[in-house]
Structure 1
Amino acid sequence: MEIRTKEVAGITFVYLKGEIKSTTSGEVMDSLVNLVKGGADKLLLNIKGVDFMSSAGLRSILVAAKVLKNSNGQMRICGANESVKKVLETSGFTSLVSLYPDENEALAAFT
Structure 2
Amino acid sequence: MEITTKDVAGITFVSLMGDIKSTTSGEVMDALVGLVKGGSDKLLINLEGVDFISSAGLRSILVAAKLLKNSDGQMKICGANESVRKVLETSGFTSLVALYNDESEALAAFT
Name the counterpart of 1:16: 16
Could you list the structure 1 runs, at least 4 aligned residues long, displaced by more than 3 angstroms after superposition.
Answer: none
Q: Which has the higher strand share?
A: 1
Where in structure 2 are the equivalents of 1:8-47 lying within 5 Å?
Answer: 8-47=8-47
Name the counterpart of 2:80: 80
Q: What is the aligned-residue RMSD (CA, Å)?
A: 0.4
Distance in 2, Cα, partners of 1:17 & 1:87: 17
TM-score by length of 2: 0.99
Tell whether 2:94 aligns with 1:55: no
Which amino acid counterpart does residue 64 of structure 2 have in structure 1? A
For structure 1, the residue ranges without an aligned partner over 5 or more in a row are: none
CA shift digits 1:54-74 (9 cap, x unpaired)? 000000000010011111100
CA shift digits 1:36-66 (9 cap, x unpaired)? 0000000000000000000000000000100
- Name the SS for the 1:30 alignment partner: helix
Percent identical across equivalent pairs? 83
